[in-house]
Amino acid sequence: MDERVASVLADAVDAEPYEPRYELASDELRALYRTEAQTTRRGEARPGLWMAVAIYVLFSATDLLLIPDVAAYTITARFAVGLTALLILEEQLRRGVGTEWLDMTCAGAIIFGYVGWLSPAVMGAEKESVSYYMVFGTIFMMSANLFFTFRFKVSIITSTIILCILYIVNYFVPSTLTYKMVFGTFYISCFTFTSYVNWKLNEERFNVFLNALEAKIQHNEATERGKALLRLSRTDPLTGLENRRAIDEKLRDYWSDWQRVGTSFGAILIDVDFFKKFNDCYGHQEGDRCLIHVANALSEMIKQYHGSIGRYGGEEFIVLARVERKEQIMDLAEAICSTVENLALTHELRRDGVSIVTVSVGAAFTRTQTGAKLEKIIHEADRALYLAKAGGRNCARLFDPTDPQSSDESENIAALLKIAIGQNLVSLVYQPIQDVKSDRVEAVEALMRLKMLDGTSVPPSLFIPVAERTGAILALGRWAIRTVCAELLADDHVRVVSVNVSPIQLKTPGFATSVATILGETGVAGSRLAFEITEGLEMEMHSDILRCISDLKLLGIKIWLDDFGTGFAGLSWLRLIDFDTVKIDRSFLHDCGTPNGRAMLQDIITLVRNRGHKILVEGVETDEQMALMREFGIDKVQGFHVGRPAPAVSFQAKRTIRKRPFTVLKSA
């Protein structure tokens, strides 16, 4: 019925606002009004009849005063009719009969109440009193029209029967013609007036019904609009998933349950691999479709785990799920990887040997409630995601507090890196690079070292990833370049110094400009510097990096490709960038003890040489390896056989050479 009311009322509400209300009263709307009015009449039937019977019986006092000779009969009739009407009504209510039958019972009680009182009353001896007492019959007429909320038709029929009885009695009661005319006119007037008022009341009730329904539908529409706006504010417009605001609220609920009753849960961060490349290759519309496909697939899969998924921004998604063990959250993380991989969405420009869309996943699980903060689990998931991306992508990693790369120890290192330069906790050592033909040290490689406040050394394998993750590598990188120029290059202690440069530095706007500034301030020519770029998964070939490398080469800086053969993008980089030197990873030299290993190294050397690059092999530690390098015609070597890393003082000349001025030319 509610749907029917809403539909009809919607039509009524859509009508012209200044149309009279009765023009909206369609037959269907009238039917709805009658249907709803039945509920009102049903609720009013019992109290209305009980009150009417009580008043009806109380009028027994007037019978004793005005018609005492027949009062016993009229009073008996009053009690008999009233009690009978109440018993019938209660039985009908108990049986749940229709509202129309309740109306008929109440209307019958009015008619029989009047007839039951009138029949013995007219038999009274005092005819004059009886004739005047009959005027009380109009009370029954008014009851039908005004006291009970009958349908208008029932009220008219009931009051008409009362009117007819009044006229019949008025005709037979001995009285003058004037009396009959006056009271006959009074009866007609009373009938007309009460019927008109009843009609007006019914129309007013109908208008109230319309207004109430209109207000109800407007309230419902406002409520729905409010809910829609709330859903919109909590929904990602592209994927239809919950947005960051909604998922943050859900995270607080999960966290509250965990803190309050110990209901553990896991948080999973999901990042679409090489999504920028996907957009660059296929366009942003296809990129949006890719995210929608991934979102839909993950949403269906997460339902099996009764978890929640939202879009955390860009190509990153987040999943929250209540689990009891960390193994369960890891299973879910791996299922996420498999789900996206099974979509087999084409991604042909990836440089890691995969040609479909994949995701990297970082997961964290609630551990200890003591002193825990809400943001901690997301921070842990983010660190696990970083390790997943650094570990090859298309994989899942669970935060492990015992892993130095993801544990709280890395946070201590991150804090240490912020003060490392100011507190002189960071330093450089230099490892020599030897020219194979001349046996002379032609260059050195600058290697960064970090110590803690108590003097304990921190391995580069530990602090470099933290520096890259936190962005501290930018300040450390500028410091390293400036220190190299000041310690060795400004006074010509060595010819060339190579410095390792992170992809994050190359992506940073203004990096080449900052290098040019350092060269100008220290008076060092760009040709004295070499930047080693590590071939890795983070080294995405987009325009910003290529432009930065081009700007660096304009400054005269040599660009070396470090650790060639250990990553996935090497061949593409050899094709796109004219490297001055390619450093072959030490693992290939150390595998030369086997025929296959020797053949592999020869193949790599041939490949690089055909591209016209100079070759440097790392890890030369023995005379035999050095002899092999001469046999293979390698240009440069580096390793413990040549020299171990040493402080700058080991390479500084005994005499001080006057520094030559150097001016950086600026383009117009």
The residue from 315, 316, 380, 618 that is catalytic is 315
Instruction: Characterize 511-531 residue by residue with b for buried, 16 or more Cβ atoms within 10 angstroms of its Cβ, and e for exposed.
Output: bbebbbebbeebbbebebbbb
DSSP assignments along 486-522, one per residue: IIIITTTSSSEEEEEE-HHHHHSTTHHHHHHHHHHHH
Three-class SS string for 29-91? HHHHHHHHHHHHHHHHHHHHHHHHHHHHHHCHHHHHHHCCCCHHHHHHHHHHHHHHHHHHHHH
Q: For residue 646, give the DSSP letter.
A: B
Q: Which residue has the tokens 């901690």?
A: 376
DSSP E strand stretches across 153-215: none
Q: Where are the alpha helices (DSSP H) in 319-445?
A: 326-343, 374-390, 408-420
Three-class SS string for 376-413? HHHHHHHHHHHHHHHCCCCCEEECCCCCCCCCHHHHHH
Instruction: List CB contacts of 46: < 8 A, sequence separation 6 or more.
Output: 89, 90, 93
- Is 348 marked active-site? no
Q: Which residue has the tokens 């209307």?
A: 107
254 within 8 A of 246, measured Cβ to Cβ: no
Angle at 526 between CA 522 and CA 528, to 5 degrees: 90
Alpha-carbon span 341 to 338, nearest angstrom: 5
For residue 363, count other CB atoms closer than 10 A to its CB: 29
Alpha-carbon span 236 to 308, nearest angstrom: 14
Contacts 24+ apart (CB under 8 A), 203-207: 203/22, 205/37, 205/149, 206/25, 206/30, 206/33, 207/21
Residue type, 115: V
The residues assigned a catalytic role are 315
